Structure 1
């Protein structure tokens, strides 16, 4: 199995663990020290797996978004004729 497959399998297993933890919380209540520790540990595992996915260079390259070039030419001023200057109020009114 590839690393991506292993991470996906781990994520599925962790999702199942989180579902069981939620069921246990509903049955036992979430106020006890033991239940809170189980919830915190499950959440920490979820966060750790997400960090592991981010540190894998093969996965990071796959998620990198395409770059979009933005032109240096100025915008058409007619686009802004019906808008107020942000933060300054309307042109024909005075601030209090």
Structure 2
């Protein structure tokens, strides 16, 4: 199964849970602490799955880095006038 299929299955289960909680509220009343906790927990689960669905949607389409074209033409030598030849050795000698 794909992630989207699993999320859809979880969403269906949460819909069934919400219907069941609604029926329990009708039978037991909605004023008790236990019933409020169950309703709140079911709501938090729905919100968490919605956040997970958004996160899965953004990670499913990975962003490709922008390509940078490097020209084949040589660089302008005036860019390197004020630089030192540090690390290249002396101009009149060969490297070891």
Using the size of structure 2 for normalisation, the TM-score is 0.60
Counterpart of 1:31 in structure 2 is 31
1:42 positional shift:
0.2
The DSSP-based 3-state class of the residue aligned with 1:30 is coil
| Runs of 4 or more above 3 Å deviation | none
**Which structure has the greater CA radius of gyration?**
2
Which ranges of structure 1 fall in alignment gaps of 5 or more residues? 62-96
Counterpart of 2:88 in structure 1 is none
The DSSP-based 3-state class of the residue aligned with 2:31 is coil
Counterpart of 1:16 in structure 2 is 16
Larger RCO: Structure 1 or Structure 2 (Cα < 8 Å, ≥ 6 residues apart)?
A: 2
Counterpart of 2:3 in structure 1 is 3
Give the aligned CA root-mean-square deviation in angstroms. Answer: 0.8
Which ranges of structure 2 fall in alignment gaps of 5 or more residues? 62-96
Distance of 1:51 and 1:30 partners within structure 2? 27
Using the size of structure 1 for normalisation, the TM-score is 0.60
Distance of 2:24 and 2:45 partners within structure 1? 17
What per-residue deviation string (whole Å, max 9, x for no partner) do you get for residues 45-86 of structure 1? 00000000011122xx5xxxxxxxxxxxxxxxxxxxxxxxxx
Distance of 2:2 and 2:27 partners within structure 1? 38
